[in-house]
Structure formats: C-alpha cells, structure tokens
Amino acid sequence: MKNVDSFADHAGSMAAINDVISQLKRHEGFVGTVYNDSLGVPTIGYGINLKAGITEREASMILEERVRKLRLKLPMVIRYWQRLSYKRQDVLINMAYQLGVSGLLKFKKMFINLENCWYDLAADEMLNSLWSVQTPERALELSEIMRNG
C-alpha cells in the first residue's frame, strides 16, 4: 500500500506536474506557428494538435495573455496613453486584438483626434473605416465608448 500512497502523493504534487511539464517541453519543443507534425497533423506550441481544438478555458488563457501583452505594448507606441481613460484604453486594446497593433496604427486620423482629446471626432473616424463596414456592431459599440469614455 505504501507504493500506492506515495504514487498518489507524487502524482498530485506541483513538483510532479512541473517535472512532467519540463519533460514534455523538452520532448515536444516549442514552435510558435502552425506546422505539420510527423503524421501531417496541424500543430502549434508544444505539440498541440489543432484538429483536436481547444477548450474554452484554454482559449480564455490565451486571450488573457494577449490582452496583457497589448496592455504593455500600446503605451510604448501611443505616447499619450496614460491620458486616456481606462475605457478608451480598452477600446484601443480591443481594436488591436482584432486588427493587430499595425492595423490599429493605420487609424491615423483617429489618433490625431485622440491626441487632441477630440473624442467625438476620434469616434467618427472609427466609423469612417473599412473596419466599421466589416464589423459594424463592434465598431458602433466601441465608437460609443470612445465618444463617452
């Protein structure tokens, strides 16, 4: 019985989880883009089979990490970031998540208006875009937040 107990203790411990994670990382290797594994299955990360899909929890963890990264990156490219309300910052994070930072930065007229605290005009520029045509409900909601922030 002692072997069973020690196995149960080991299997649930953080040390055991960290051990197997380290081992899996070493064996799988990390690839940040989609590739085909040895069986031709689309894979990413540490051997994650994309055909198998992911759980909502896994998707939420990825979403949270990407939002954290955007919250760190955007103040480096928008010099007046700290002057914006948190709600307006969130609008820009939302747009950058959808469009990428480079896509967000193409809204040059919006940014001129934001820099001058002309939020109504910034919101108008958001609506005067291909992005607004492609995702009208999102654009309308976010432009209202930008306007009233």
pLDDT of amino acid 115:
97
Q: Please tell me whether residues 73 and 114 are part of one structural domain.
A: yes
Q: Please tell me whether residues 135 and 116 are part of one structural domain.
A: yes
pLDDT of amino acid 14:
81
Residue 32 is classified by DSSP as: E
Handedness of CA 5, 9, 12, 15 (dihedral sign): negative
Q: Please tell me whether residues 20 and 80 are part of one structural domain.
A: no
Q: Are 137 and 127 in contact (CB under 8 A)?
A: no
pLDDT of amino acid 12:
63
Residue 62, domain extent: 54-149
Q: Are 140 and 127 in contact (CB under 8 A)?
A: yes
Reduced to 3 DSSP states, what percent helix, strand and coil does the chain have, rounded to the nearest 5?
70, 10, 20
Domains in the chain, number:
2
pLDDT of amino acid 15:
82
The whole-angstrom separation of Cα 93 and Cα 82 is 13
Q: Please tell me whether residues 102 and 136 are part of one structural domain.
A: yes
149 residues of the chain, pLDDT tens digit each: 445 555 555 556 888 888 999 999 999 999 999 999 999 999 999 999 999 999 999 999 999 999 999 999 999 999 999 999 999 999 999 999 999 999 999 999 999 999 999 999 999 999 999 999 999 999 999 999 999 99
Q: Please tell me whether residues 69 and 24 are part of one structural domain.
A: no
80: Cβ contacts below 8 Å, ≥ 6 apart = 114, 115
